[in-house]
Structure 1
């Protein structure tokens, strides 16, 4: 009986552990997010030029945890963390000269993240109006994350972020 209880406890512990991201997985997520926002797959280019991905692992873990919390509060917190990530990207991508045009498009979209008050108003409004669609995207993305399909996770997150930040 003790053996069964210990085995069950071990399995439950393993099942609830969060997955620790690596820098290369962060690059896949960022490439997926770019694809979700600007509809261009730059994974190969980012793998060659992105720097500092290892420093973003904790932020992505926090964002995933907030998205898993769910609801408007969890999603708003997660989007705030994603805003921090997006604001860090310019220095991480400054060596990516071969995709300057794509980065410019991403930067144009990401300007909203430099205006926290406007961002919060927009996200709050869009979460109320489009909650079902955004929630569906986030649930799909979380399934991709748990399946370690990080590019797909990023892509669907990018699509959800576009919907959450639209005017």
Structure 2
């Protein structure tokens, strides 16, 4: 029942955000793109390696898109597995994060991340304390998400669920 209510609440938030997004797209997105443009312009003259490194974040770094700020606070390997998961990886990790809602609307938390192992997207694992919640404006929440991590190159991609642009941040995950 709780999952159904959460799904209904999430659908309502999405519907309301979609209705309001058309008006705010030009005014809200343009300044943010301009804010980021100077930093990217400065780095265009730099070698391609430096540009790529500057976009990838590490544990402890904060990333903000559309007034939603995420900080990956901790990454740990876990022996915990869910017997009902379709995959049973040799190595699984739990990523702890903090989400701050600096917008003027409630924000659903838990669908903001994609995880890639050696360039291939993988699904979340049902271990740890997987966070699916909502936070009101001006508040924050600490959460967790778990992924299989059988590979060398591990990347966590952050893009707010309610963001319709191409802006995203990538965290390099090192164990």
TM-score (norm 2): 0.26
Specify which structure has the higher proportion of helix.
1
Higher RCO by CA contacts (8 Å cutoff, separation 6 or greater): 1
TM-score w.r.t. the length of structure 1 is 0.27
